Amino acid sequence: MGTNVFREVIRDRILYIIGFYALLMVVVMQLLPQIAASTEDKIFLDFGLAAMNVLGLIVAVFVGTGLVSKEIEKRTVLSLIAKPISRAEFIIAKHLGLSSVLALLVGVMTVIYLALLQFQGITYSLVSILLASVFLFLQLSLITAFALALGVFTSSVLATLLTFAVYLMGNFSQDLVNIGRISKNPGFERVTQTLYLILPDLSRLDLKNLAVYGTQLLPSPLTLLANAGYGVVYIVLVLAIAILVFARREF
């Protein structure tokens, strides 16, 4: 079933995003020398990874929230769960299918990005960029899990808004804790600490800034492994919640 989801998403013209990314990068490559002559290399390095992140996020959120919620709203889920597959397999297949599409998108965009860096003669760290791409995929896979989980028990529109909220707050979860400490308000501090425990710390899966400045700023291999494990465990937990809620739903 995961293969069917992969084909379904590909048919929705998702791969046009790759063409848009390539065109965007070429345009930026032409404009940067006129805008920031002295820092154009660093800006191009940063922009390429940031654009990859934004485009992947759009696919993860908008497609992810609709994979289950739209089938529930249209009642097509009834014919699917009537087949000899469990509801757990249904959710896992949806996640694996979309994650495969995201892996393809990130992989192809990374190749385009590296080719343009090479063409421009920009100095870069291949290891740093490849690691940033791998961790970006992990982050998008985690967001996909949230999109599916939220799509199970609410409408696609609300699930989309909530998933974006999770992404934004997940990127600033450490800042929330610091704000709570600075406020010196025990009640507010407990709220921020609770949010930090519930929300994913997406900064652990974000190596964009480090990739721009090379391998000398990358975390140790042990830290990288721990952060990757953190992402995988979080994905499993969110999918487990999605499966539990979906299994108890009546259609």
Radius of gyration for the alpha carbons in the chain, expressed in angstroms and rounded = 20
Cα→Cα distances 77→49, 70, 133, 207, 246, Å = 37, 9, 34, 38, 11
Domain boundaries, the chain: 2-248
pLDDT score of 134? 95
pTM of the model: 0.89
Q: Which of 60, 71, 51 is nearest to 141 (CA)?
A: 60
Q: How many residues does the chain have?
A: 251
Cα–Cα distance between 110 and 55 in angstroms, integer?
12
Q: Which of 147, 123, 173, 150 is nearest to 61 (CA)?
A: 147
pLDDT tens for the chain, 251 residues long, are: 557 666 766 766 777 899 999 999 999 888 877 666 567 778 888 899 999 999 999 999 998 888 877 776 666 665 666 666 677 888 898 899 999 999 999 999 999 999 999 988 888 888 889 999 999 999 999 999 999 999 888 888 899 999 999 999 888 877 777 777 777 777 777 877 777 778 888 988 988 877 777 655 677 889 999 999 999 999 999 999 999 988 777 65
